[in-house]
C-alpha cells in the first residue's frame, strides 16, 4: 500500500479484470495508477470518488474504426468517450481515390498531427494497404513509426481497394520480418462482384438481394485463404468483424496448429440480423452483411470459448443522407439531397455508427443475458486489444504503473439507445429504441476526468499518439498472451 497521498482514490467499487472481480480501492497520482488495494485501504487522497455499487473497469479500447467520413477524430472520439472508451485505434489509408495525394505513410503522418490537436482520446493507428501501395517501402517505414498493423481488403476489387493475393503475401512477409501484424477484411471480392452483377442484370436490386450477394461461404473462403497465407509467411493475422458462423471452426483449426491468429467481432454481429436490413434498407447496409440469428449465437459462443478475442465497433460515421450512394466507389461519399428509399441497395454505402452503443449492447446482451461474464467482457474489450497491438500494460489494465484510464459502470442504470442521445454527428443508429440496463457514468484518461455527470470535462489537444511496440504484442516471443 502506498504511503504517499494520492491525487485521486476510487473507493469501494468492484474492480473487474480478466481474472477476477473484487472490491478494491484504486489510487491515482498524475497520469498513473500507483496502488490497487483491497477495500477499505485507508489510502489518503486529495479527492475520493465513491464507487460503491459500481464496476471499476479499465478504459475500453476500440481497435476498429474509420473516422474519415462525416465524423472525424473530434466528434468520433467524443462519442466514443461517452461509451466508456478511452483509447481508439483507427484505420488510415492513402487518400488518392479522394483526390488527396501522398503515400499511406505520409497520410498517416498528417492524420497523427491533426489528431493530436482534435482528438479527445489517446490513439494508435492501423494502416490500410491497397494494391497501389509500395509495400516494400511502406511496411518497414510504418513499423519504424509505431504503426505495426496492416489491414488488407480481400474484397472491393472494382472500388480499387482489394489487395491482390501476391501483394498480400509480400506485405505479410515484410510485416512478419519486422514483428508486425497483418489484418484482413475476409470476403471473396470477385465472387461478390459476380453475384452482384447477376442480380443487377436481372433487375434484382432491392434490399432482399444484398445478403444473397455476400453469402457466408465467401467470408469462410477468404478467411481460410488469409490464414493459409499467414501460415506460409509466418505472419500474425488478425481477422476483423467476423460474422459467419462457419468461419469460427476454420480459424480455430489454424490456431490449434500453432499459428498466431486473432479474431474480432462487433456488436452489430452479436445482436442484429438481416431482418434489420429488411426493415431499414440502406441504413443497415454494412460489410460483411448482417447475418441470421444462428450467426449471432455462434459469435457469442466464439466469445465464450475464446475463439473470438476482441469486440470492436467498425464505426464509420455516416448520416442518413450519406447512406444511399457511394457503395460502388472508394471516393468520398457525398450526402444526397433527395433520398430514394427504393434505390438500388448495391449503390448504398457501407458502414454504420456503433461505437457509443458498443459497451451498453455487449453488457446488455452478453452479461445481463448470461452469455459472458464481466471478466470476459474486460478481456475482449480492454486487455486483449491492448495485448494484440502492443499497448499492454500501458493500456487495457488497472495495475500499478499503468495509465490511469478508468471507467465507472453503473449496472443498475436504465437507459434507451437513440440517435438523439449519441454524441457523434451521425443522425441514426440501428440500435434505436433498445432498452439497456447498465451504463458507463464516469471515465478518466491518464488521471484526468473525461466524462462526469453526463458531460465531457476534458478538452481537445490532450490526446497522445500511441505507437505500437512489436516486442509487446501477443505474438511476440516475450509478449503478453491473450485470454
pLDDT tens digits, one per residue of 388-425: 999 999 999 999 999 999 999 999 999 999 999 999 99
On whether the CB atoms of residues 125 and 68 are closer than 8 A, the answer is no
On whether the CB atoms of residues 371 and 2 are closer than 8 A, the answer is no
Q: Tell me if the pTM is above 0.75.
A: yes
Instruction: Give 143-201 pLDDT, tens digit per residue.
Output: 999 999 999 999 999 999 999 999 999 999 999 999 999 999 999 999 999 999 999 99
In the chain, % of residues over pLDDT 90: 94
Residue ranges covered by each domain of the chain? 59-388
> Which are the contacts of 330, defined by CB distance < 8 A and separation ≥ 6?
97, 98, 156, 159, 160, 161
Closest-CA residue to 401 (of 34, 76, 6): 34
What pLDDT, on the 0 to 100 scale, is given for residue 402?
Answer: 98
HSE-up (13 A, CA, CB side) for residue 277: 28
Instruction: Give 238-290 pLDDT, tens digit per residue.
Output: 999 999 999 999 999 999 999 999 999 999 999 999 999 999 999 999 999 99
Q: What is the 3-state secondary structure (H, E, C) of 48-63?
A: EEECCCCEEEECEEEC
Q: Where does the pLDDT of residue 2 fall: very low under 50, low under 70, confident under 90, or very high at 90 and above?
A: low
Q: In the CATH scheme, what is the code of domain 59-388?
A: 3.20.20.140
Grid cell in block for residue 298: 455462434
What pLDDT, on the 0 to 100 scale, is given for residue 243?
Answer: 98
Grid cell in block for residue 281: 434498407
Instruction: Give 44-69 pLDDT, tens digit per residue.
Output: 999 999 999 999 999 999 999 999 99
In the beta sheet, which residues pair with residue 185?
Answer: 153
The residue with cell 468520398 is 332
Q: What is the 3-state secondary structure (H, E, C) of 89-103?
A: CCEECCCHHHCCCCC
Does pLDDT of 103 surpass 80?
A: yes
Q: Where does the pLDDT of residue 75 fall: very low under 50, low under 70, confident under 90, or very high at 90 and above?
A: very high
What pLDDT, on the 0 to 100 scale, is given for residue 3?
Answer: 66
Quick one: how far is CA 215 from the chain centroid? 23
Sign of CA dihedral 462, 466, 472, 474: positive
Q: Where does the pLDDT of residue 325 fall: very low under 50, low under 70, confident under 90, or very high at 90 and above?
A: confident
On whether the CB atoms of residues 293 and 270 are closer than 8 A, the answer is no
Mean pLDDT of 97-110: 93
What pLDDT, on the 0 to 100 scale, is given for residue 48?
Answer: 98
Amino acid at each position: 500500500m502506498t504511503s504517499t497521498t494520492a491525487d485521486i482514490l476510487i473507493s469501494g467499487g468492484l474492480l473487474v479484470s480478466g481474472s477476477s472481480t473484487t472490491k478494491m480501492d484504486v489510487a491515482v497520482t498524475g497520469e498513473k495508477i500507483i496502488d490497487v488495494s483491497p477495500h477499505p485501504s485507508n489510502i489518503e487522497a486529495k479527492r475520493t470518488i465513491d464507487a460503491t455499487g459500481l464496476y471499476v473497469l479499465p478504459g475500453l479500447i476500440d481497435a476498429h474504426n474509420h473516422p474519415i467520413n462525416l465524423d472525424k477524430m473530434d466528434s468520433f472520439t467524443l462519442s466514443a468517450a461517452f461509451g466508456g472508451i478511452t483509447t481508439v485505434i483507427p484505420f488510415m489509408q492513402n487518400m488518392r481515390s479522394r483526390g488527396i495525394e501522398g503515400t499511406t505513410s505520409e497520410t498517416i503522418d498528417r492524420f497523427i498531427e491533426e489528431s493530436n490537436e482534435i482528438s479527445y482520446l489517446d490513439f494508435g493507428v492501423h494502416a490500410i494497404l491497397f494494391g497501389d501501395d509500395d509495400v516494400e517501402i511502406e511496411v518497414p517505414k510504418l513499423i519504424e513509426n509505431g504503426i505495426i498493423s496492416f489491414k488488407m481488403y480481400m474484397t472491393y476489387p472494382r472500388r480499387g481497394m482489394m489487395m491482390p493475393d501476391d501483394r498480400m503475401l509480400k506485405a505479410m512477409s515484410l510485416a512478419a520480418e519486422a514483428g508486425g501484424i497483418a489484418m484482413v477484411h475476409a470476403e471473396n471480392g470477385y465472387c461478390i462482384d459476380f453475384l452482384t452483377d447477376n442480380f443487377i442484370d436481372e433487375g434484382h436490386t432491392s434490399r432482399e438481394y444484398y445478403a444473397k450477394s455476400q453469402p457466408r461461404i465467401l467470408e469462410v473462403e477468404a478467411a481460410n485463404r488469409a490464414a493459409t497465407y499467414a501460415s506460409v509467411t509466418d505472419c500474425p493475422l488478425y481477422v476483423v468483424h467476423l460474422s459467419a458462423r462457419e468461419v469460427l471452426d476454420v480459424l480455430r483449426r489454424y490456431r490449434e496448429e500453432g499459428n498466431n491468429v486473432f479474431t474480432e467481432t462487433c456488436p452489430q454481429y452479436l445482436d442484429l440480423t438481416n431482418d434489420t436490413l429488411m426493415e431499414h434498407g440502406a441504413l443497415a447496409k454494412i460489410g460483411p452483411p448482417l447475418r441470421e440469428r444462428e450467426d449471432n449465437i455462434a459469435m457469442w459462443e466464439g466469445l465464450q470459448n475464446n475463439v473470438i478475442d476482441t469486440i470492436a465497433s467498425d464505426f464509420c460515421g455516416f448520416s442518413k443522407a450519406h447512406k444511399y450512394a457511394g457503395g460502388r466507389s472508394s471516393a468520398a461519399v457525398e450526402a444526397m439531397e433527395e433520398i430514394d428509399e427504393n434505390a438500388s441497395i448495391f449503390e448504398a454505402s457501407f458502414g454504420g455508427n456503433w461505437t457509443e452503443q458498443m459497451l451498453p449492447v455487449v453488457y446488455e446482451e452478453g452479461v445481463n443475458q448470461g452469455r459472458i461474464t464481466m471478466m470476459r467482457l474486460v478481456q475482449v474489450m480492454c486487455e486483449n486489444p491492448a495485448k494484440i497491438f502492443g499497448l499492454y500494460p500501458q493500456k487495457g489494465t488497472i495495475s500499478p504503473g499503468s495509465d490511469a484510464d478508468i471507467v465507472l459502470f453503473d449496472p443498475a442504470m436504465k437507459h434507451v439507445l437513440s440517435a438523439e442521445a449519441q454524441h457523434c454527428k451521425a443522425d441514426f443508429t440501428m440500435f434505436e429504441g433498445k432498452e439497456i440496463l447498465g451504463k458507463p457514468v464516469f471515465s478518466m484518461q491518464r488521471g484526468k476526468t473525461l466524462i462526469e455527470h453526463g458531460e465531457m470535462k476534458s478538452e481537445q489537444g490532450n490526446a497522445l499518439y500511441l505507437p505500437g511496440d512489436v516486442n509487446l504484442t501477443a505474438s511476440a516471443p516475450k509478449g503478453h498472451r491473450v485470454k
